[in-house]
Structure 1
């Protein structure tokens, strides 16, 4: 499983931009995934669904989680 990666950019699909040894080997063996189904159109719920095997609403994730507040990025001196 990869994240934020379109299959058209992989070297196994004819583009030398991104080399991924395992995915390139699968493509060389004839295994090419070109159709995908996801549970939600947004990032957080769909990632949680892929990692857990559950539908996002069952985990109270029917919408994406917003950005992290600025106060969480403060570095103490």
Structure 2
């Protein structure tokens, strides 16, 4: 695992614990099912992650972290005001 992936996982897990991961999904107007499909997991898995019941792990965690990064970056671009 690369240092970039380790950093991404660490940041994603902090965002899950703080509730930011859920807010990122909601701000992007994605359902649990839509994000779960991107991550290759069941919607109940994403729900458990967002509720703090489970910690994202393995390749699914990396896909989840990547998806959240893309959503957060897209949100940051739309937040820029002239």
TMscore range, shorter length = under 0.3
Query: What is the TM-score of this pair, normalised by structure 1?
Result: 0.24
Larger RCO, structures 1/2 (Cα 8 Å, 6+ apart): 2
Higher radius of gyration, 1 or 2: 1
Query: What is the TM-score of this pair, normalised by structure 2?
Result: 0.23
